[in-house]
Structure 1
Amino acid sequence: MTGLPRRLRALPIRSRLALLVATAVAIAVAVVAAACWFVTRDQLESQLDETLSGSKVDQRYLTDLYTYCKGSTAQTPPRFVGLTVQLVDSQGTVCIAPDAASSKVPVSDKDLEVAKRERHYALHSTTAENGTDVRVYTYPLGVFGAPGSESGNLAVSIARPMSEITDSLSTLAWVLLLVSGIGVVGAGVAGLWVARTGLRPVDELTDAVEHVARTEDLTVRIPVEGEDEIARLSRSFNSMTGSLATSRDRQSQLIADAGHELRTPLTSLRTNIELLARSDETGRAIPPDDRRALMTSVKAQMTELAALIGDLQELSRPDAAQPGPLRVVALHDITRTALQRARLRGPELTITAELAPWYVRAEPAALERAVVNVLDNAVKFSPSGGSIEVNLHRGELTVQDHGPGIPAEELPHVFERFWRSPSARQLPGSGLGLSIVARTVQQAGGEIALRPASGGEGTVASIRLPGAPQPPPEL
């Protein structure tokens, strides 16, 4: 039994389906055929019993048979065709016509009870002395002989051969067996056809998966028809390959954009370092002011490289990656901390803040980085001596600067990776800051948007985050 499931699993799925269908049909056909045979047998036996119960032997024949049994040979009773008729007395003695002696039926206890008037009738099956299976009906008979004579209590047993129904049942059994065999074979063929037809989409899916594994071609799509499980599986496969293709395209784009962004600071670093090396090799000293400017440029380019690598590491996680552990944090406190860093980076700017308490569920470090990036953008684009207004009210954090602003046609691109406004190409930055902000806010269930400030001067960055219950105070 343990080897059978292994053999089934070793078969192709269509063969297993065909085998299971044929087995199920075979069981169903066998049950129906058996039920049909037993019902037919019961009906035929019931009809035979009714025929026997309705059979009444002619009184004259019974008189002749009784006289014969008493020893008179004046009248020998004839034999019934197809029937066995015999007399049974209360002692179990049987009397039967001489030419029917070979078909004599054994007397049962029920027959004796009828002869003794303890039963009204008896109906049972037995085997005659000639080996024939018979159905016997016994009923009581009155007293024979002249008035005043005592002939005792008698019963009449009428027997009919069971072959009248067993032959029909045998024929029916062969017919049912033949029909069942044809049905099982037909079910197997139909099951194989259904399995082959039903699994054709699975074959297509298998071919597509093998093609993708062999060629890494993620443009393969499976035609989807209907709304069944196979169609859902095909849609899922198409969605998966589409997502993989998009992910691969984004990865390729990220690598290309990163290479492009890295090329500029690396080229500048290489040029400055070559100037310093050439000065040492030739012995021609670089003027102190120029050397100081070169070192400042080298330091700035290294800082920009470090920031770009950090941003790339942050974005190396897929968009659907799980964020760090979420906690209930105070957005107003995180904003105050970010404001301290922003004031250090723009000491010449006037930064005002109105922060109403608001608690959110987010990753604290990622949320602080997002707020710092928004404030850094405002500091970077604000003119010298300008001002920045920061407000937090009912879950909306707004940061408004008074810089050149962002043209309306560029607003849809500000959250794309490595995208930088043409007017900001000369300013430090990697073009990844707002991408990181957008992803962090979305992972916290919030929204971020940029819009022109009222009056057309500057830009307003707006972050909306859903509130969370205030945590209990620490003891």
Structure 2
Amino acid sequence: MPGPDTDHVSTRRRRPLTVRTRILATVLVLSTLALAAAGGTAWGLQRIRVDGDIDEALDRTITELRTLAETGVDPDTGRAFRDSDRLLYTMMSREVPATNEGMIAFIRDNVRYQTQDIGVPLALDPELVHAVSDAWQLDRVVIDTLRTSQREYRYAAVPVQVGDSAPGAMLLAFDRDAQQAEVGATFRTYGLVAAGSLLVLAVVAWVLSGRLLRPLRTLRETAEQISVTDLSRRIPVDGTDDLSELARTFNDMLGRLETAFGSQRQLLDDAGHELRTPITIVRGHLELMDPTDEQDATETRALALRELDRMHRLADDLVLLARSEAPDFVRTEPTDVGTLLDNVLDQARQLGNRRWRVTTRAEAVVDVDPERVTQALLQLAANAVKFSDDGSTIRLGSRLEDDCLTLWVEDEGIGIPPEQQDRVFERFAQVTGPQRRPAGGSGLGLSIVAAIAANHGGRVVVASAPGKGSRFTLVLPAPGAQPALIPDDEIVVDPDEVAAEGAGQDGTR
């Protein structure tokens, strides 16, 4: 019974031919068939032409014999022929056979005249002589083909009788094999040339197919070198044909896979890093909790619930960041920017006791994802509340300029040191320093904002100074949008300010 090694060897032996080999075989088979068909057709047509030339020569000689019989004169008497023998003799003496042609004259069944030292010696082929010896009995000219042990003939048998003289016949014949030999020689040469052409074609096809299939080989080699931990390999592409497009598509696929695996690893790393802290806190307090102490149990329960809520928010933020790598994370649609800012303002008012104001509002319709942009602005508003004092002012605004839509949130909070502004959009980044406040967040909010902006093809920028507040601005592409700016006085929507300034001012924009 064959074992695994035998099966492996047989599998390797049954390995299918490579694409390059199959292309070469296909080209050679089709070219061989084409050359054979063309050569065979030409060979057949050429043989037919040679037979036609033979028949034409036979017809011409027959015509000459008839003309001589009807209008010719006997050279000896100067009168019309009165004897079949004299007519055949005169015709034989006047006609010079071609190289592969021969002539015989019969009187009844006997050979009377034959060509000497010129053309084909027909009289020396007894099979031919026997086959046509009764031609004098025919009532018409016969043109036919006859094969003997010596050669194949294409002949014409012409019965001759002048007056009451003894009847006779003239046999005109061509050596058909000899006549067709030139055709055979020509097409043997054609065969050699065709074989040489196929050899050259094989070499050229092998080289060209190798060049054409090089992207596929590179693709295979790249695919063999790809692993879960290394998706950075790419196929070099320098053409514009279909295979080059395939290589580009494969590179794009590798890029998407690398991004997806990177997001997955980042998600796992982030989750493992950030979830470890609340789990450790809960575990530590549970281990130290006195079950008999009601106050201690109540405090530990409250702490555990807070940490669980924190883990829940962290998980939601991590999942959202992972989804931000998907191509359908942002779904743009024509959106009224003014209405969107109003909705953000209405929701932001619930985040904290601040003076909420709109400084400038763009009235235009822009292709954005209203849900994601609202989410980003509310995250910025929540950060502004977190890092500012009660009663301080938070300003929102929007503007269209240079084919871009800018939306911003500005606070009067603690600000961000210049050396830390470049890293605030990194995952789990927290502001450090003497003015730092306990944030209580996951450190993913600004990362989510940056992801939303990037998926729109835009960016988010920060301008901040310690002790003076920060301004975060979303810059989103808005090609072709026409701005219709409506500058308003600072609009107060804080309820206490509304009461102080008079009823009816709330929500005026």
- Inter-CA distance 104–377: structure 2 relative to 1 (3 Å threshold): farther
Question: Partner of 1:202 in structure 2?
Answer: 216
Any conservation in 2 of the 1:37–1:169 contact (CA below 8 Å)?
yes
Question: Partner of 2:431 in structure 1?
Answer: 421
More displaced, 180-189 or 352-361? Answer: 180-189
1:360-371 matches, within 5 Å, as 360-371=366-377
Question: Partner of 2:448 in structure 1?
Answer: 436
Question: Partner of 2:356 in structure 1?
Answer: 351
- Give CA deviations for 1:144-179 in whole Å, capped at 9, x if unaligned: x9xxx9xxxxxx997755555322123333443454
Query: What is the aligned counterpart of 1:19 among 18, 25, 28?
Result: 25
Any conservation in 1 of the 2:399–2:406 contact (CA below 8 Å)?
yes
Question: Partner of 1:70 in structure 2?
Answer: 83
- Inter-CA distance 28–125: structure 2 relative to 1 (3 Å threshold): farther
Please state if 1:463 is matched with 2:477. no
What is the percent sequence identity of the aligned residues?
Answer: 26
- Inter-CA distance 180–104: structure 2 relative to 1 (3 Å threshold): farther
Question: Partner of 2:420 in structure 1?
Answer: 410
Aligned equivalents of 2:396, 2:88: Cα separation in 1? 136
Please state if 1:400 is matched with 2:406. no
Letter in 1 for 2:385: V
Q: CA deviation at 1:341?
A: 3.7
Question: Partner of 1:305 in structure 2?
Answer: 311
Give the secondary structure class of the aligned counterpart of 2:412.
Answer: coil
Q: CA deviation at 1:373?
A: 0.6
1:191-340 matches, within 5 Å, as 191=205, 195=209, 199=213, 202-212=216-226, 217-220=230-233, 230=243, 233-234=246-247, 236-238=249-251, 240-241=253-254, 243-274=256-287, 277-278=289-290, 280-281=291-292, 283=293, 300-317=306-323, 319-323=325-329, 326-340=332-346
Question: Partner of 1:29 in structure 2?
Answer: 35
- Inter-CA distance 49–24: structure 2 relative to 1 (3 Å threshold): same
Any conservation in 1 of the 2:392–2:412 contact (CA below 8 Å)?
yes
Aligned equivalents of 1:356, 1:188: Cα separation in 2? 69
Aligned equivalents of 1:64, 1:413: Cα separation in 2? 127
Aligned equivalents of 1:455, 1:427: Cα separation in 2? 16
Please state if 1:379 is matched with 2:385. yes
Letter in 2 for 1:350: R
Q: CA deviation at 1:307?
A: 1.9
Aligned equivalents of 1:42, 1:338: Cα separation in 2? 94
More displaced, 239-248 or 128-137? Answer: 128-137
1:5-16 matches, within 5 Å, as 11-16=17-22
Q: CA deviation at 1:387?
A: 0.8
Aligned equivalents of 2:341, 2:301: Cα separation in 1? 34
Query: What is the aligned counterpart of 2:185 among 146, 154, 171?
Result: 171
- Inter-CA distance 358–463: structure 2 relative to 1 (3 Å threshold): farther
Give the secondary structure class of the aligned counterpart of 1:459.
Answer: strand
**What TM-score do you get using the length of structure 1 for normalisation?**
0.67
Q: CA deviation at 1:231?
A: 5.2
Computed over aligned residues only, the root mean square deviation of the Cα atoms, in angstroms, reads 5.3
Listed as ranges, the gaps of 5+ residues in structure 1 are: 1-8, 87-93, 113-123, 138-144, 150-155, 470-475
Aligned equivalents of 2:397, 2:214: Cα separation in 1? 61
Any conservation in 1 of the 2:416–2:464 contact (CA below 8 Å)?
no
- Inter-CA distance 454–274: structure 2 relative to 1 (3 Å threshold): closer
Letter in 1 for 2:449: V
- Inter-CA distance 34–223: structure 2 relative to 1 (3 Å threshold): same
Any conservation in 2 of the 1:104–1:128 contact (CA below 8 Å)?
no
Q: CA deviation at 1:10?
A: 5.9
Q: CA deviation at 1:210?
A: 3.4
Letter in 1 for 2:325: D
**What TM-score do you get using the length of structure 2 for normalisation?**
0.63
Q: How many residues align?
A: 424
Give the secondary structure class of the aligned counterpart of 2:226.
Answer: helix
Aligned equivalents of 1:175, 1:136: Cα separation in 2? 36
- Inter-CA distance 351–458: structure 2 relative to 1 (3 Å threshold): same
Give the secondary structure class of the aligned counterpart of 1:452.
Answer: strand
Give the secondary structure class of the aligned counterpart of 2:113.
Answer: helix
Give the secondary structure class of the aligned counterpart of 1:132.
Answer: strand
1:77-92 matches, within 5 Å, as 77=90, 78=92, 80=95, 81=97, 82-84=101-103
- Give CA deviations for 1:256-282 in whole Å, capped at 9, x if unaligned: 23332233333444445555x22x34x
Letter in 1 for 2:413: G
Give the secondary structure class of the aligned counterpart of 1:422.
Answer: coil
Aligned equivalents of 1:190, 1:105: Cα separation in 2? 63
- Give CA deviations for 1:92-131 in whole Å, capped at 9, x if unaligned: xx9x983369579989xxx99xxxxxxxxxxx97448997
Question: Partner of 2:461 in structure 1?
Answer: 450
Aligned equivalents of 1:84, 1:189: Cα separation in 2? 54
- Inter-CA distance 340–54: structure 2 relative to 1 (3 Å threshold): same
Any conservation in 2 of the 1:104–1:129 contact (CA below 8 Å)?
no
Q: CA deviation at 1:452?
A: 1.6
Letter in 2 for 1:461: F
Listed as ranges, the gaps of 5+ residues in structure 2 are: 1-14, 115-122, 124-128, 164-169, 483-509
Aligned equivalents of 1:220, 1:455: Cα separation in 2? 44
Any conservation in 1 of the 2:271–2:315 contact (CA below 8 Å)?
no
- Inter-CA distance 388–46: structure 2 relative to 1 (3 Å threshold): same
